[in-house]
Protein backbone atom coordinates (compact mmCIF):
# COMPACT_ATOMS: atom_id res chain seq x y z
CA UNK A 1 0.00 0.00 0.00
CA UNK A 2 1.47 3.44 -0.96
CA UNK A 3 2.50 5.74 1.90
CA UNK A 4 0.30 8.79 2.40
CA UNK A 5 1.82 12.19 1.62
CA UNK A 6 0.98 15.51 3.15
CA UNK A 7 -1.53 17.86 1.60
CA UNK A 8 1.07 20.54 1.02
CA UNK A 9 3.35 18.19 -0.84
CA UNK A 10 0.45 16.91 -2.93
CA UNK A 11 -0.51 20.45 -3.97
CA UNK A 12 3.10 21.26 -4.76
CA UNK A 13 3.27 18.33 -7.16
CA UNK A 14 -0.13 19.20 -8.74
CA UNK A 15 1.30 18.95 -12.26
CA UNK A 16 1.57 15.17 -11.85
CA UNK A 17 -2.20 14.94 -11.63
CA UNK A 18 -2.44 16.23 -15.15
CA UNK A 19 -1.28 12.80 -16.30
CA UNK A 20 -4.53 11.23 -15.16
CA UNK A 21 -6.69 13.92 -16.76
CA UNK A 22 -6.93 12.19 -20.16
CA UNK A 23 -8.07 8.90 -18.59
CA UNK A 24 -10.53 10.67 -16.32
CA UNK A 25 -11.89 12.62 -19.28
CA UNK A 26 -12.34 9.47 -21.36
CA UNK A 27 -14.11 7.66 -18.54
CA UNK A 28 -16.23 10.71 -17.84
CA UNK A 29 -17.25 11.11 -21.47
CA UNK A 30 -17.71 7.50 -22.49
CA UNK A 31 -18.83 5.89 -19.23
CA UNK A 32 -20.26 8.41 -16.81
CA UNK A 33 -21.87 10.86 -19.21
CA UNK A 34 -24.05 8.22 -20.96
CA UNK A 35 -25.08 6.84 -17.56
CA UNK A 36 -26.00 10.26 -16.20
CA UNK A 37 -27.82 11.04 -19.45
CA UNK A 38 -29.80 7.80 -19.14
CA UNK A 39 -30.77 8.63 -15.55
CA UNK A 40 -31.80 12.14 -16.62
CA UNK A 41 -33.85 10.92 -19.59
CA UNK A 42 -35.64 8.26 -17.57
CA UNK A 43 -37.80 11.08 -16.16
CA UNK A 44 -38.88 12.21 -19.61
CA UNK A 45 -41.15 11.20 -22.42
CA UNK A 46 -38.38 11.05 -24.99
CA UNK A 47 -38.36 9.81 -28.56
CA UNK A 48 -34.59 9.76 -28.91
CA UNK A 49 -34.27 13.18 -30.55
CA UNK A 50 -34.35 16.72 -29.25
CA UNK A 51 -37.98 16.66 -28.18
CA UNK A 52 -38.68 15.57 -24.64
CA UNK A 53 -41.33 16.20 -22.03
CA UNK A 54 -40.82 15.93 -18.31
CA UNK A 55 -43.17 13.32 -16.84
CA UNK A 56 -41.64 12.72 -13.44
CA UNK A 57 -41.87 9.17 -12.17
CA UNK A 58 -44.40 7.97 -14.73
CA UNK A 59 -41.89 5.76 -16.54
CA UNK A 60 -41.08 4.01 -13.28
CA UNK A 61 -44.73 3.50 -12.32
CA UNK A 62 -45.35 2.09 -15.79
CA UNK A 63 -42.64 -0.49 -15.17
CA UNK A 64 -44.69 -1.88 -12.28
CA UNK A 65 -47.52 -2.78 -14.66
CA UNK A 66 -45.30 -4.00 -17.49
CA UNK A 67 -46.14 -7.69 -17.80
CA UNK A 68 -43.64 -8.36 -20.56
CA UNK A 69 -40.79 -6.95 -18.48
CA UNK A 70 -41.60 -9.04 -15.42
CA UNK A 71 -42.14 -12.19 -17.49
CA UNK A 72 -38.73 -11.66 -19.07
CA UNK A 73 -37.16 -12.22 -15.66
CA UNK A 74 -38.45 -15.78 -15.73
CA UNK A 75 -36.59 -16.38 -18.98
CA UNK A 76 -33.44 -14.73 -17.71
CA UNK A 77 -33.68 -16.72 -14.49
CA UNK A 78 -33.76 -19.95 -16.47
CA UNK A 79 -30.81 -18.79 -18.57
CA UNK A 80 -28.79 -17.83 -15.49
CA UNK A 81 -29.33 -21.26 -13.94
CA UNK A 82 -28.47 -22.93 -17.26
CA UNK A 83 -25.33 -20.82 -17.52
CA UNK A 84 -24.23 -21.95 -14.09
CA UNK A 85 -24.29 -25.52 -15.38
CA UNK A 86 -22.62 -24.37 -18.59
CA UNK A 87 -19.60 -23.33 -16.54
CA UNK A 88 -18.92 -26.97 -15.69
CA UNK A 89 -17.25 -27.96 -19.00
CA UNK A 90 -14.80 -25.06 -18.66
CA UNK A 91 -13.88 -26.12 -15.13
CA UNK A 92 -13.59 -29.72 -16.26
CA UNK A 93 -11.30 -28.85 -19.17
CA UNK A 94 -9.16 -26.60 -16.93
CA UNK A 95 -8.71 -29.50 -14.53
CA UNK A 96 -7.79 -31.86 -17.35
CA UNK A 97 -5.22 -29.44 -18.73
CA UNK A 98 -3.85 -28.78 -15.28
CA UNK A 99 -3.34 -32.48 -14.65
CA UNK A 100 -1.28 -33.01 -17.78
CA UNK A 101 2.18 -34.01 -16.76
CA UNK A 102 3.87 -32.41 -19.75
CA UNK A 103 4.28 -28.61 -19.54
CA UNK A 104 4.61 -28.51 -23.33
CA UNK A 105 1.28 -30.17 -23.88
CA UNK A 106 -0.28 -27.92 -21.32
CA UNK A 107 0.96 -24.95 -23.32
CA UNK A 108 -0.38 -26.31 -26.61
CA UNK A 109 -3.79 -27.09 -25.16
CA UNK A 110 -3.97 -23.58 -23.77
CA UNK A 111 -3.14 -22.20 -27.20
CA UNK A 112 -5.85 -24.38 -28.81
CA UNK A 113 -8.40 -23.15 -26.31
CA UNK A 114 -7.45 -19.52 -26.92
CA UNK A 115 -7.28 -19.55 -30.73
CA UNK A 116 -11.09 -19.60 -31.24
CA UNK A 117 -11.18 -16.30 -29.34
CA UNK A 118 -9.99 -14.51 -32.47
CA UNK A 119 -13.32 -15.32 -34.12
CA UNK A 120 -15.65 -12.46 -33.24
CA UNK A 121 -18.57 -13.53 -31.08
CA UNK A 122 -20.98 -12.23 -33.70
CA UNK A 123 -19.60 -14.66 -36.26
CA UNK A 124 -20.08 -17.55 -33.85
CA UNK A 125 -23.67 -16.44 -33.32
CA UNK A 126 -24.34 -16.35 -37.05
CA UNK A 127 -22.84 -19.81 -37.45
CA UNK A 128 -25.12 -21.10 -34.73
CA UNK A 129 -28.07 -19.40 -36.38
CA UNK A 130 -27.22 -21.41 -39.44
CA UNK A 131 -26.95 -24.54 -37.31
CA UNK A 132 -30.52 -23.96 -36.20
CA UNK A 133 -31.80 -23.61 -39.77
CA UNK A 134 -34.68 -26.09 -40.06
CA UNK A 135 -33.85 -27.20 -43.59
CA UNK A 136 -30.11 -26.76 -44.05
CA UNK A 137 -28.89 -26.63 -40.47
CA UNK A 138 -26.34 -29.02 -38.97
CA UNK A 139 -28.38 -29.66 -35.83
CA UNK A 140 -31.37 -31.16 -37.67
CA UNK A 141 -29.05 -33.07 -39.98
CA UNK A 142 -27.18 -34.54 -37.00
CA UNK A 143 -30.41 -35.52 -35.26
CA UNK A 144 -31.67 -37.20 -38.41
CA UNK A 145 -28.41 -39.02 -39.08
CA UNK A 146 -28.11 -40.28 -35.50
CA UNK A 147 -31.80 -41.27 -35.35
CA UNK A 148 -32.15 -39.13 -32.27
CA UNK A 149 -34.92 -37.38 -34.14
CA UNK A 150 -36.97 -40.56 -34.07
CA UNK A 151 -36.45 -40.80 -30.34
CA UNK A 152 -37.52 -37.19 -29.91
CA UNK A 153 -40.63 -37.84 -32.01
CA UNK A 154 -41.60 -40.74 -29.77
CA UNK A 155 -40.96 -38.67 -26.66
CA UNK A 156 -43.02 -35.87 -28.14
CA UNK A 157 -45.92 -38.23 -28.74
CA UNK A 158 -45.62 -39.47 -25.16
CA UNK A 159 -45.31 -36.10 -23.48
CA UNK A 160 -47.46 -34.17 -25.96
CA UNK A 161 -44.97 -31.39 -26.66
CA UNK A 162 -46.19 -30.85 -30.22
CA UNK A 163 -42.82 -29.82 -31.66
CA UNK A 164 -41.15 -32.93 -33.14
CA UNK A 165 -42.77 -34.62 -36.12
CA UNK A 166 -41.47 -37.31 -38.39
CA UNK A 167 -40.51 -35.91 -41.77
CA UNK A 168 -41.02 -32.29 -40.65
CA UNK A 169 -37.86 -30.27 -40.06
CA UNK A 170 -37.73 -28.90 -36.54
CA UNK A 171 -37.86 -25.12 -36.36
CA UNK A 172 -35.57 -24.56 -33.36
CA UNK A 173 -36.04 -20.83 -33.42
CA UNK A 174 -39.60 -20.91 -34.72
CA UNK A 175 -41.35 -22.95 -32.02
CA UNK A 176 -42.10 -21.28 -28.68
CA UNK A 177 -41.34 -24.47 -26.76
CA UNK A 178 -37.91 -24.80 -28.36
CA UNK A 179 -36.70 -21.23 -27.94
CA UNK A 180 -35.24 -21.65 -24.45
CA UNK A 181 -33.67 -25.02 -25.21
CA UNK A 182 -32.09 -23.42 -28.30
CA UNK A 183 -30.73 -20.57 -26.20
CA UNK A 184 -29.24 -23.12 -23.81
CA UNK A 185 -27.88 -25.45 -26.49
CA UNK A 186 -26.05 -22.73 -28.41
CA UNK A 187 -22.34 -22.66 -27.91
CA UNK A 188 -22.09 -26.39 -27.23
CA UNK A 189 -19.75 -27.75 -25.77
CA UNK A 190 -19.80 -24.51 -23.73
CA UNK A 191 -16.08 -24.20 -23.28
CA UNK A 192 -15.19 -20.55 -22.90
CA UNK A 193 -11.55 -19.67 -23.35
CA UNK A 194 -11.59 -16.93 -20.75
CA UNK A 195 -13.21 -19.22 -18.19
CA UNK A 196 -10.72 -21.99 -18.82
CA UNK A 197 -7.78 -19.63 -18.42
CA UNK A 198 -9.16 -18.12 -15.22
CA UNK A 199 -9.75 -21.55 -13.67
CA UNK A 200 -6.40 -22.79 -14.89
CA UNK A 201 -4.67 -19.85 -13.25
CA UNK A 202 -6.41 -20.72 -10.01
CA UNK A 203 -5.48 -24.39 -10.28
CA UNK A 204 -1.87 -23.61 -10.96
CA UNK A 205 -1.65 -21.72 -7.70
CA UNK A 206 -2.32 -24.97 -5.83
CA UNK A 207 0.92 -26.27 -4.42
CA UNK A 208 2.21 -29.73 -5.41
CA UNK A 209 2.55 -30.72 -1.76
CA UNK A 210 -1.25 -30.77 -1.53
CA UNK A 211 -1.40 -33.33 -4.32
CA UNK A 212 1.42 -35.34 -2.79
CA UNK A 213 -0.43 -35.49 0.50
CA UNK A 214 -3.58 -36.56 -1.29
CA UNK A 215 -1.72 -39.29 -3.14
CA UNK A 216 -0.36 -40.57 0.15
CA UNK A 217 -3.89 -40.70 1.55
CA UNK A 218 -5.07 -42.72 -1.47
CA UNK A 219 -7.49 -40.05 -2.74
CA UNK A 220 -9.11 -40.85 -6.11
CA UNK A 221 -8.86 -38.36 -8.98
CA UNK A 222 -12.49 -37.37 -8.63
CA UNK A 223 -12.11 -36.89 -4.90
CA UNK A 224 -9.08 -34.70 -5.58
CA UNK A 225 -11.24 -32.54 -7.76
CA UNK A 226 -14.10 -32.42 -5.28
CA UNK A 227 -12.16 -31.86 -2.10
CA UNK A 228 -9.00 -30.12 -3.23
CA UNK A 229 -9.21 -28.41 -6.58
CA UNK A 230 -12.77 -27.15 -6.53
CA UNK A 231 -12.60 -25.58 -3.05
CA UNK A 232 -9.25 -23.96 -3.85
CA UNK A 233 -10.52 -22.34 -7.04
CA UNK A 234 -13.81 -21.18 -5.56
CA UNK A 235 -12.61 -17.57 -5.67
CA UNK A 236 -12.23 -17.86 -9.43
CA UNK A 237 -15.51 -19.74 -9.73
CA UNK A 238 -17.25 -17.07 -7.71
CA UNK A 239 -15.74 -14.31 -9.81
CA UNK A 240 -16.75 -16.09 -13.00
CA UNK A 241 -20.22 -16.64 -11.68
CA UNK A 242 -20.66 -12.98 -10.75
CA UNK A 243 -19.45 -11.86 -14.16
CA UNK A 244 -21.62 -14.48 -15.84
CA UNK A 245 -24.73 -13.44 -13.92
CA UNK A 246 -24.16 -9.77 -14.64
CA UNK A 247 -23.46 -10.53 -18.30
CA UNK A 248 -26.52 -12.73 -18.65
CA UNK A 249 -28.80 -10.22 -16.92
CA UNK A 250 -27.59 -7.32 -19.03
CA UNK A 251 -27.07 -9.13 -22.28
CA UNK A 252 -29.50 -9.42 -25.16
CA UNK A 253 -27.27 -9.64 -28.21
CA UNK A 254 -27.71 -13.38 -28.42
CA UNK A 255 -31.49 -13.19 -28.28
CA UNK A 256 -31.64 -10.22 -30.66
CA UNK A 257 -29.53 -11.91 -33.32
CA UNK A 258 -31.17 -15.29 -33.11
CA UNK A 259 -34.76 -14.26 -32.48
CA UNK A 260 -35.26 -10.61 -33.39
CA UNK A 261 -36.42 -7.69 -31.27
CA UNK A 262 -39.71 -9.36 -30.26
CA UNK A 263 -38.01 -12.30 -28.59
CA UNK A 264 -39.01 -14.86 -31.19
CA UNK A 265 -41.97 -17.21 -31.33
CA UNK A 266 -44.31 -16.66 -28.43
CA UNK A 267 -41.98 -13.99 -27.10
CA UNK A 268 -40.25 -16.78 -25.20
CA UNK A 269 -36.81 -15.39 -25.79
CA UNK A 270 -37.64 -11.97 -24.35
CA UNK A 271 -35.14 -10.93 -21.71
CA UNK A 272 -34.98 -7.61 -19.82
CA UNK A 273 -32.16 -6.21 -21.97
CA UNK A 274 -33.98 -7.08 -25.17
CA UNK A 275 -37.20 -5.51 -23.87
CA UNK A 276 -35.22 -2.37 -23.17
CA UNK A 277 -33.95 -2.41 -26.75
CA UNK A 278 -37.46 -3.11 -28.06
CA UNK A 279 -38.94 -0.16 -26.19
CA UNK A 280 -36.20 2.15 -27.39
CA UNK A 281 -35.72 1.22 -31.03
CA UNK A 282 -38.99 -0.46 -31.99
CA UNK A 283 -41.55 1.47 -29.93
CA UNK A 284 -39.49 4.69 -29.92
CA UNK A 285 -39.90 5.06 -26.15
CA UNK A 286 -36.33 5.99 -25.26
CA UNK A 287 -37.25 7.56 -21.94
CA UNK A 288 -39.03 4.42 -20.83
CA UNK A 289 -36.09 2.32 -22.01
CA UNK A 290 -33.77 4.46 -19.86
CA UNK A 291 -36.03 3.82 -16.88
CA UNK A 292 -35.90 0.07 -17.59
CA UNK A 293 -32.13 0.27 -17.80
CA UNK A 294 -31.95 2.08 -14.51
CA UNK A 295 -34.15 -0.51 -12.87
CA UNK A 296 -31.96 -3.28 -14.25
CA UNK A 297 -28.87 -1.51 -12.97
CA UNK A 298 -30.30 -1.26 -9.45
CA UNK A 299 -31.38 -4.91 -9.61
CA UNK A 300 -27.92 -6.10 -10.64
CA UNK A 301 -26.32 -3.86 -8.04
CA UNK A 302 -28.57 -5.43 -5.44
CA UNK A 303 -27.63 -8.92 -6.53
CA UNK A 304 -23.94 -8.05 -6.46
CA UNK A 305 -24.27 -6.65 -2.96
CA UNK A 306 -26.04 -9.81 -1.80
CA UNK A 307 -23.34 -11.89 -3.41
CA UNK A 308 -20.56 -9.93 -1.75
CA UNK A 309 -22.21 -9.90 1.63
CA UNK A 310 -23.51 -13.44 1.91
CA UNK A 311 -21.52 -15.64 -0.47
CA UNK A 312 -18.31 -16.24 1.40
CA UNK A 313 -15.48 -18.47 0.37
CA UNK A 314 -13.47 -20.25 2.99
CA UNK A 315 -9.82 -19.93 2.14
Partner 1 sequence: MPFTPTLRLLAAFAFFVFAASAIAKEVSLQSAWNLAEANLFNDSNKVFRDLKGQPGIDERERAFGEAVTYLNVQPRTPQNIARAQELLKTLTSGEDMYDQLAGFYLARIDEDYLTLPEPERAKAAYLELLQRRTGNPLVESGAVRLALLAELSATDPESRREALLSTRSLAQNLLTREGRRDFHLNLGLALLKAGDLDSGLEELLAADAEGITRPLSERSAWVAIAEAARVTDKKEIAAKYYRKFLEKYGRDTRSFTVELRLKELETPQP
Partner 2 sequence: MKERILNAIGIGLLSICFVVALGRILWPKERGSTGEDVVTIRIAHWQLESGVREAINAMAREYEKLHPDVRIQQIPIPERIYPNWLITQLIGGTAPDIIQIGMGSTEERIARFFVPITELVEQPNPYNKGTELEKVPMLNTFFDGMQGGYQETLLEYYSVPLSGTSIRVYYNLALLKEITGSAKLPTSYRDFIDLCKATVAFAKANNRTIVPIAGSKYNGPLLMNALFASQTQKLMDQLSPTGTLIADTTLTMEWLAQNKWSPNSPEVLSGLTLMREVSEFLQPGFMQLQRDDATFYFVQGRSLMICSGSWDSTSIRSQSPFAVGVGRIPFPTPDDPEFGPFTKGRISEAGAVSAVSFGLTRSSENPAIAQDFLLFLGSQPANRVWTNVSRWIPAVVGVEPHPDAAPFQPLMDGYAPGFPLPNQANQPDSARIYNTNINDLFGPEGSPQKFANRLLEGNLEAQKSDLARLIRTTSMNSKRRDTVVAALAVQRVKDPGDAKLDEKLDEALQSIAFIERGYYLNKAALRATETALAKP
Per CB under 8 A, the segment of 22-30, 97-105, 128-136, 222-230 that binds partner 2 is 128-136
Q: Smallest gap, in angstroms, from Cβ of residue 168 to partner 1?
A: 40
| 309 contact partners, CB below 8 Å, separation of at least 6 | none
Q: Smallest gap, in angstroms, from Cβ of residue 50 to partner 1?
A: 5
Per CB under 8 A, the segment of 29-37, 50-58, 79-87, 106-114 that binds partner 2 is 50-58
Is residue 132 within 8 Å of residue 172, measured between CB atoms?
Answer: yes
Q: Is 15 in the site for partner 1 (CB under 8 A)?
A: yes
Is residue 170 within 8 Å of residue 140, measured between CB atoms?
Answer: yes
User: CA–CA separation, 269 vs 208, rounded Å?
Assistant: 46
Contacted by 14, from partner 2, partner 1, none: CB < 5 to 8 Å by type: partner 1
What is the dihedral sign for C-alpha 219, 220, 223, 225? Answer: positive
**Residue 2: DSSP 8-state:** P
E strands within the chain? 44-46, 52-54
Report the largest interatomic distance among the alpha carbons of the chain, rounded to a whole angstrom.
82
Q: Is 169 in the site for partner 2 (CB under 8 A)?
A: yes
Closest CA to 117 of 31, 188, 192: 192
Q: Smallest gap, in angstroms, from Cβ of residue 311 to partner 2?
A: 36
- x/- contact string, 52-91, with partner 2 (CB under 8 A)? -x--------------------------------------
Could you tell me if residue 14 is left (phi over 0), alpha (psi between -120 and 50 degrees) or otherwise beta?
Answer: alpha
Per CB under 8 A, the segment of 12-20, 33-41, 43-51, 190-198 that binds partner 2 is 43-51
Contacted by 174, from partner 1, partner 2, none: CB < 5 to 8 Å by type: partner 2
- x/- contact string, 26-55, with partner 1 (CB under 8 A)? ------------------x-----xxxxx-
- x/- contact string, 272-301, with partner 2 (CB under 8 A)? ------x---xxxx----------------
Which phi and psi (to 5°) does residue 102 adopt?
A: -85, 125
Q: Is 19 in the site for partner 1 (CB under 8 A)?
A: no
Is residue 218 within 8 Å of residue 131, measured between CB atoms?
Answer: no
Per CB under 8 A, the segment of 9-17, 209-217, 255-263, 289-297 that binds partner 2 is 255-263
Q: Is 23 in the site for partner 2 (CB under 8 A)?
A: no
Per CB under 8 A, the segment of 8-16, 89-97, 163-171, 290-298 that binds partner 2 is 163-171
Q: How many CA atoms lie within 13 A of 89 on its CB side?
A: 11
User: CA–CA separation, 58 vs 61, rounded Å?
Assistant: 5
Per CB under 8 A, the segment of 13-21, 69-77, 148-156, 199-207 that binds partner 1 is 13-21
- x/- contact string, 52-91, with partner 1 (CB under 8 A)? xxx-------------------------------------
3-state secondary structure 102-158: CHHHHHHHHHHHHHHHHCCHHHHHHHHHHHCCCCCCHHHHHHHHCCHHHHHHHHHHH
User: Which residues contact partner 1 (rule: CB under 8 A)?
Assistant: 11, 14-15, 18, 44, 50-54
User: Which residues contact partner 2 (rule: CB under 8 A)?
Assistant: 45, 47-51, 53, 132-135, 162, 165, 168-176, 259-260, 262-267, 278, 282-285
Amino acid sequence: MPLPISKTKALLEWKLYLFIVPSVLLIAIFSYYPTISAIYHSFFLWGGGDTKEFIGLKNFTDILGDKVFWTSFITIGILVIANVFRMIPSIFLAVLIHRLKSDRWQYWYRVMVVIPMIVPGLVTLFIWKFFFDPNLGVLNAALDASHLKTLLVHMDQFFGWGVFYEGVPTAWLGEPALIIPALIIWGFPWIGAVGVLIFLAGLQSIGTEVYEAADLDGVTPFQKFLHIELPLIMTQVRLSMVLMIIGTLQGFGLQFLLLGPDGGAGGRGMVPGLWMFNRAFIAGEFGYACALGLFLFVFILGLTWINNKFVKVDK
